[in-house]
Amino acid sequence: MHDNATPHSENLTQQWLQRYGWRILPHPAHSPDLAPSDFHLFGPLKRHLGGMAFETEDDLIIELRNWFDNLDVDFFRVSINSLLSRWKKCIDLHGDYVEK
């Protein structure tokens, strides 16, 4: 599932997808209910950073790296696996917004 951004539509990418037999599912543009970064990543990150103040951009970058480095591998697995149910809900709702 991806949009038609240049990295997704390059010949090399298309050849790789064909070689491994991956199907391309259409993805509505700017769909926060189907983008793992929106529904799974940014909420926990926002809660983690809430109330913190950073003196410099480098301080923020260090905190972000620490947060990502300490995430459990299941954090990302849950996100990707939940796409299946969200995609089905989106299809069942004919593209309307998908709630949790």
pLDDT higher at 26 or 15: 15
Q: Is 13 in the same domain as 38?
A: no
Q: Is 50 found in the same domain as 71?
A: yes
Give the pLDDT band of residue 65 (cuts 50, 70, 90).
very high
Pair 44, 90 in one domain:
yes
- Across 35-63, average pLDDT: 88
Residues 6+ positions from 13 with CB-CB distance below 8 Å = 7
Q: Answer yes or no: do 52 and 74 share one domain.
A: yes
Percent pLDDT > 90 in the chain is 27
Give the closest residue to 1 by CA, choosing from 18, 20, 28, 26: 26
pLDDT for position 51: 95
Considering the domain architecture, whether residues 94 and 59 belong to the same structural domain is answered as yes
Contact 10, 16 (CB under 8 A): no
> Taking residues 88-98, what's their average pLDDT?
72
The verdict on 66 and 87 lying in the same domain is yes
Give the ranges where the chain is alpha helix by DSSP (H). Answer: 6-9, 11-19, 36, 42-49, 57-69, 73-92
Read off the pLDDT of each residue in 26-32 and give the average, rounded to a whole number.
59
What's the pTM? 0.53
